[in-house]
Amino acid sequence: MADERIKILLLDDDEIDRLAVQRYVQRERLPYDLETATSIVEARLKLRQGRYDLVMLDYNLPDGTGLEVLADVRDMPAIFITGSGDEKVAANAMRQGAYDYLIKDPERNYLIVLPATVNKVLERKRSEQALVESEVKHRLLLDSIQTPTLALKRDLTVFYCNDAYAALVDKTLAELEGQPLLAVFPKLEGSKTMTAYRQALESGETQEVEGSFGDRQYRSRIFRTPWGVLAIAEDITERKRAQEALVRYNEELERRVAERTADLAAANERLERSYNDTIQAVIAAMDAKDSYTRGHSQ
């Protein structure tokens, strides 16, 4: 921004104060293109006709207060200007969206901090824009992913989620985003899933947890991010069913092997008995023959 001109609209009905700001900008050779307005009506007209990087709003105006204009410039940074002793007014302006404020003093020393204040306010605006752009990129990325994906802030409020996640839990994006996760799903309190979210936040280590939605089973991988945690759910229903079928097959195979082993053992036992019976019969026959032979030889 060093070589860029900063377009500023100054709303102040006090001619001396307006001239003081203009002279200070010229004397310090500040890179400001400064335009002025003396009333709310004139300010609104200029805001409709042009685009400004920043607005500076005095509180007391002939047709109202600067707070009325503040409500019109939600999309651009504003510096509120008020007199000494009106700090409560400045605080109120900050609550209503002003980025910063300046307190006028008789010596106009507040102008000394004007450049630093402008730079700080514009830097904050750039940071906010970068964050919005980052969120948009993440949104586009998440929406392109078919896998259910959920992003949570550090306080476990839903930051954003994609359509696949919303469909999975049978909620709309409006019902989810910006809501505390436990407010939407109170039954998650004390669950393995909530424990995994908290452990990921505390340790920074990737967590894995399995759960089910309806008749589908999922495995979620949970990662810590700069804003909180990101959970990506993988549908493992078919894999689980295949694993369960394999377990059943192995159990059936073991049962059949056990049955065949038992049958084989019984057959071996019968064969051994038959063999022993045959041996005994042969021995008995031989003994009988020997007895007959001995009887005739006498």
Domain segments of the chain as ranges: 6-128, 145-235, 243-298
Q: Under DSSP, is residue 92 helix (H, G, I), strand (E, B) or coil?
A: helix
Q: 105 with 85: CB under 8 angstroms?
A: no
Alpha carbon distance 118, 60 (integer Å): 21
Length of the chain: 298
- The pLDDT of residue 1 is 46
Alpha carbon distance 71, 94 (integer Å): 12
Please, what is the Cα angle at 49 between 45 and 50, to 5 degrees?
120
- Where the chain has pLDDT below 50, the residues are 1-2
- The pLDDT of residue 54 is 95
6-128: CATH number? 3.40.50.2300
- The pLDDT of residue 255 is 75
- Looking at 28-162, list the stretches that DSSP marks H as alpha helix, in order from N- to C-terminal side: 40-49, 66-70, 87-95, 114-144
Alpha carbon distance 127, 58 (integer Å): 26
Alpha carbon distance 194, 203 (integer Å): 14
Q: What is the pTM of this model?
A: 0.52
**For domain 145-235, is the CATH number 1.10.645.10?**
no
- The pLDDT of residue 176 is 93
Q: 79 with 101: CB under 8 angstroms?
A: yes
| Burial environment of residue 256 by CB neighbours within 10 A (0 to 12, 13 to 18, 19 or more) | exposed
Q: Which residue has the tokens 């830097």?
A: 123
Parallel, antiparallel or unpaired: strands 78-83 and 54-58 = parallel
